Chains A and B, each alone.
Chain A
Amino acid sequence: MTSPSPSSRKSLSKIACNRLQKELVEWELNPPAGFKHKVTDNLQRWVIEVNGAPGTLYAGETYQLQVDFPEHYPMEAPQVIFIPPAPLHPHIYSNGHICLDILYDSWSPAMTVSSICISILSMLSSSPAKQRPADNDRYVKNCRNGRSPKETRWWFHDDKV
């Protein structure tokens, strides 16, 4: 699977455009709790503010998600990363990459930005400790030249967090 870096990425197909507009309308009518879409001109890149859920380790903290859509969205998963500083979490690398199966192998075209957001908030909320993944430094070094997390061969080993 190749996914060019956002700058050289192809523009959205008509199907992708239509679907994203539908998602945006739905988001505006019924946004997922704890998220705020920061309106920009760019339909292909959404920036979303995440508020840590009350009663969790991330309560009161705010982070930013960047969602980039490929040409053939929703057939291909969007690229979702935290804009650094990323939350301290055993599955979130310091460069903002997120180890979450639905963003890669388990993506399904029936998922939406909204459902991704809920999954990410759920992942944050179930964290037992604020810490980086064990292989954080090695991984981040490998990604130096702006590699997309979609090019990483992820290993989803932990189904608890």
Chain B
Amino acid sequence: MASEASDSKTKPTETQSSSSSSANGNGDAGEFECNICFELAQDPVITLCGHLFCWPCLYRWLRLHSHSHECPVCKALIQEEKLIPLYGRGKNQTDPRSKPVPGVEIPNRPAGQRPATAPPPEASAVPNFGFGLGGGFLPVMIGGFGNLGLLAGFCGFLPSMLSIQINNFADARPTYGTTSGYARGFSGGYHDRDFPRASETNQGAQAEDNRLVLILLIVMFLVIFSCMW
């Protein structure tokens, strides 16, 4: 008691002399002071109601002293798993508040809840690619039909309509991607499954057309082949 009295005798004068500087500092640092110990928050956590605490301070209050799990500032219900840790850049020095009270183990503060990473930027750089998997397949099929078209040409059965349809595919091709052709068309298809976008709707309509044309071609070739055999 005696030592403490002398302690407290010297300290107020100390703090008085530094009060002007701490008053200036308050404007900046006060925002980041723990609401329990009034020091710069150590292992800071923030409640859903937005109040900042040192994790050791809040833990001791919730687990050892309070009768209810309420925010000390606003009495909102606190769920420990919903506390948000604040991770700044600096590494914390050991702080007296983290030193356990005899018989009290303070666990690590709750970890942050990390949402999934943001979509990779290239996904938005290829808005023209693909209309789903079907879109990815189309260019390959065209290649196939080109051969069939040749075959059909050999057989001398190339109706005028067929050439028109093939031209139609050629026109549609730039919408898959102008640079690297079919491979990009495929990857575009996968991206598009994850991130559907508005442009899909008008391109999708065209894809629908192309698919109908494909079916028509297949039927035609089947008819042609059946006639041939």
Q: Residues of A with Cβ closer than 8 Å to B?
A: 11-12, 14-15, 17-19, 21-25, 28-29, 39, 41-44, 72, 74-76, 105, 108-110
Contact = CB atoms under 8 A, between A and B. Distances in A.
Interface in B5-46: 5-9, 11-12, 15-16, 19, 22-23, 35-39
B72 A25 contact: no
Contact of A29 (B6, B23, B51, B73): B23
A110 B35 contact: yes
A110 B36 contact: yes
B65 interface: yes
A101 B36 CA distance: 19
A110 B73 contact: yes
Interface residues of B, number: 33
B56 to A, nearest CB: 9
Interface string B164-187: 000000000000000000000000
Contact of A11 (B1, B12, B19): B1
A21 B72 contact: no
Contact of A28 (B5, B19, B57): B19
Given A25-B16, A28-B19, A19 B65 contact: no
Contacts of A11: 1, 4
Contacts of B8: 17, 41-44
B64 interface: yes
Nearest to B74: A110
B67 interface: yes
Contacts of B69: none
Contacts of A74: 36-37
Chain B interface SS verdict (over half): helix
B82 interface: no
A19 B70 CA distance: 21
Which 4 A-B pairs rank lowest in CB-CB distance, beginning with the nearest? A43-B8, A110-B72, A108-B72, A75-B65
A8 B96 CA distance: 25
Given A28-B16, A43-B11, A109-B61, A23 B38 contact: yes
A128 to B, nearest CB: 27
A42 B5 CA distance: 5
Given A19-B37, A24-B15, A28-B16, A41 B5 contact: yes
Contacts of A14: 96
Contacts of A39: 12
B35 A25 contact: no
B36 A109 contact: yes
A121 B75 CA distance: 22
Contacts of B73: 108, 110
Contacts of B193: none
A48 B82 CA distance: 40
B60 interface: yes
B28 to A, nearest CB: 16
Nearest to A109: B36
A44 B4 contact: yes
B97 interface: yes
Contacts of A19: 37-39
B86 to A, nearest CB: 18
Contact of A25 (B15, B51, B60, B70): B15
B97 A41 contact: no
B72 A109 contact: yes
Nearest to B19: A25
Nearest to B3: A11
Contact of B15 (A21, A41, A42, A108): A21
Nearest to A13: B101
